[in-house]
Each structure stands twice: as structure tokens, then as C-alpha cells.
Amino acid sequence: MSSKNTSTRTGKLDEARRRARYRAWHRGTKELDLIMGRFCDEHVMGFDERDLACFEQILENEETLLQAWLMGQVEIPDGEQSRMLCMIRDFHLQKSRGHKNHETGESS
């Protein structure tokens, strides 16, 4: 692949990452903005095209269902998105525990 093609492809991927980051931070509810936005900020630059496409598909889910999956209220279904949903949920739960421990002074 030529450097021009690689540069164009990288540019399109970077543009898609910026778009995903914006969408992650503008879900509609503050709770999901924080969950999805923080996860995206920390992970999106490491996403390849496949991961990014999966993340974008997850962003298409209904607010209440997505929040239930990520808060552990409903089991994450098997399927294409399950690995990424589990990553987001685990990231959120880890961050939540760390924040609570910081407030209480307890260690993890």
C-alpha cells in the first residue's frame, strides 16, 4: 500500500474516532455521557477499524437498554457487541469502585 493510501486511510480512521468520541459524550443522559465518554477517551485511539465499527454500533442502542447493560442491571447478550460491551462495563465498574474508594479513603 502506498504512503498516500495509508495516510488517507489513517485520516479517515482519525475522523471516525473524533466522531465516535463526540457521540460518546453526547448520548442524551449525563450518566451515559460519563460512562461512554470516559471509556472512549481512554480507548478510542487504540481502536482499529473493526473495534471502531463495533463501538459505533453500540452507540446506536437505545439509552435505557445500553445503560442497563453497562450498569450490570441486565445481562449482556451474546453477539458481535458482547466483547466491547463487557469492556465498557468493566471499565465503568472499575472507575466507579476507584471513585468510591477515593471518597471513603478505602483501598481497592
3-state helix/strand/coil string of 33-83: HHHHHHHHHHHHHHCCHHHHHHHHHHHCCCHHHHHHHHCCCCCCCCCCCHH
Closest CA to 24 of 45, 48, 44: 44
73 with 96: CB under 8 angstroms?
A: no
State pLDDT tens for residues 32-75: 999 999 999 999 999 999 999 999 999 999 999 999 999 889 99
Which CATH code fits 3-104?
1.10.150.250
Kindly list the domain boundaries of the chain, sorted by start residue.
3-104
Distance between alpha carbon 95 and the CA centroid of its chain, in Å? 13
Write down the pTM of the prediction: 0.80
